Amino acid sequence: MNLFAYTRAASIAEAVTAAAEPGAAYLAAGTNLLDLMKGGIATPSRLVDITRLPGLDAVEPQPDGSTRIGALVRNSDLARNAHVAKTYPMVAEALLAGASAQLRNAATTAGNLLQRTRCAYFYDPASPCNKREPGAGCQAIGGATRIHAVLGWSEHCIATHPSDLCVPLAALGAQVEIAEAGGRRTVPIGDFHRLPSDHPERETVLEPGALVTAVILPPEAAAFSGHARYLKVRDRTSYAFATVSAAAALTLENGRIGAARLALGGVALKPWRVAEAEDALTGATPDAEAFSKAAAALVAGAKPSGPENAFKIELARRTVVRALTLAQAGTPARMPALPASPFSHAAGALHA
């Protein structure tokens, strides 16, 4: 690990100023950053500790019906927050499907948004990687690509984003609140993460020193609480990143779908949401035919980034259909922590 300076920020303004220094990085829980530092993947010259900043660790329902989730809210606290579990149940389900209990007790909301890819070539300092060193090349291309992207990838990067939480946030149209030297602004989460294009090293719209202060769920997201699910397909039930995941939410009116929200995870360098897929469901009868049509629209244009991940396209279609089927059946009283596990009922988040 390289030598670095340490600053404990006393205010958001102080943090933004300190982190604007070239080579600086924010430190919250460090569940991803410290691993990257130990492996020599991240080499910040200064860590700006934001863990004691006031006002960033609360879940706050707003008068307009939206909900503001502070950047430092712990994943386990957010999943079991009574308001979140009841109003945005697939957010709770996604959080409980991620990592381990120990990590969820430490990891934060903003840290989840800013996770780095789990591409093995990114984590290997001996492998060329355009995310670590622009222009170095991408050794993943032509390599072991089973977990890599089938949507939105480029000739410069085929990595995927690992977050579970970001998938339902994207489906529900969350906004990301950002503090910068010039003040605060909000960015739709769909615009927050960048696709790789020619510059895979630019992962978000954050400028140097910018600090994520909150995530805001809009008032209309609450309408989907009765029919919302997050489905995660992975190699083992516990403590594994998604091969493919899907967040699906519906409103049902007189036997038809009033509105729909859909997003895919594990298939691109950002959560994948397509308006046409949701539009295909609006007004439709909630059946296998409608769900299949929406799934096809959601993965339209998908193509393998290597010989080992073509299966993910069909897996994504089926995962979307299954997630929609579960959503149609209704949100369960308790969102399971470990889907398909006989022990899930004991560790889930109460919805009803």
Calculate mean pLDDT across residues 239-253: 96
pLDDT at 340 (0 to 100): 53
Let me know if domain 5-49 sits in CATH 3.30.43.10: yes
Q: Which amino acid is at 268?
A: A
Each residue's pLDDT tens digit, 61-111 = 999 999 999 999 999 999 999 999 999 999 999 999 999 889 999 999 999
Calculate mean pLDDT across residues 273-279: 98
Strand order in the sheet with 228-233: 228-233, 244-253, 256-265
Calculate mean pLDDT across residues 163-184: 97
- Return all residues near 300 (Cβ < 8 A) that are at least 6 apart: 274, 276
Closest Cα partner for 58 from 38, 82, 74, 44? Answer: 74
> 186 phi and psi, to 5 degrees?
-120, 145
pLDDT at 334 (0 to 100): 82
Each residue's pLDDT tens digit, 67-78 = 999 999 999 999
Which of 43-52, 94-103, 215-224 bottoms out in mean pLDDT, i.e. has the lowest? Answer: 94-103
Using DSSP's 3-state secondary structure scheme, residue 59 falls into: strand
Each residue's pLDDT tens digit, 179-212 = 999 999 999 999 999 999 999 999 999 999 999 9
* Domain boundaries along the sequence of the chain: 5-49, 225-338
Domain 225-338: CATH class, spelled out: alpha beta
The rounded mean pLDDT for the chain is 95
Looking at residue 52, the DSSP 8-state letter turns out to be T
Q: What is the pTM of this model?
A: 0.96
Each residue's pLDDT tens digit, 301-347 = 999 999 999 999 999 999 999 999 999 999 998 877 666 554 555 55
**Contact predicate 248/170, CB 8 Å:** no
Taking phi first (over 0 means left), then psi (-120 to 50 degrees means alpha), and beta for anything else, what does residue 242 get? beta
Q: How far apart are CA 91 and CA 105, in angstroms?
A: 16
Token pair for 252: 């049902």
* Number of neighbouring beta carbons within 10 Å of residue 215: 27
